[in-house]
Amino acid sequence: MNDAKRSKEAGTLVGHEKDNPLKSVADGLKTTLGPNTWPIVRDLVDDIITVSERDILVATKLIWERLKICIEPSAGVGVAVAMSEEFHQKYTDSKYVGIILCGGNVDIIKLIDTIKETL
């Protein structure tokens, strides 16, 4: 589910890889970029950093535990990126980072089980 990163690198809109099983805890990221979103990414996004499923779960759990906010794993992606080594190496000057946190698409019981199995 790295179609956004691959599209940005290719300079053209690409879909999912044919062998991609679309299996992720971040349900909101299973869709591809479309004709409305691609021009925004193409023209205004500087970089796309990808993270692992484990990183997403760690970040989601961190927000749940520390901020006491129930976010969905798709929101955990932004937190995982901000916590990543790649982000800190590329953006050493970043003093402030904004991340949108949302929680509308989460089955808490199912996700808790997934976190227990993974972490």
In this model, does residue 44 exceed pLDDT 90?
yes
The H or E element spanning position 7 is helix 3-10
Evaluate whether 106 touches 73 at the Cβ level (below 8 Å): yes
> Using one digit for the tens of pLDDT, what is the confidence trace for 62-118?
999 999 999 999 999 999 999 999 999 999 998 899 999 998 778 888 888 989 999
Residues 6+ apart with CB under 8 A from 50: 2, 5
What's the whole-number average pLDDT of the chain?
A: 91
In this model, does residue 1 exceed pLDDT 70?
no
Start-end of H helices in 33-84: 38-44, 53-67, 73-83
CB-based burial label for 74 (10 Å; 0-12, 13-18, 19+): buried
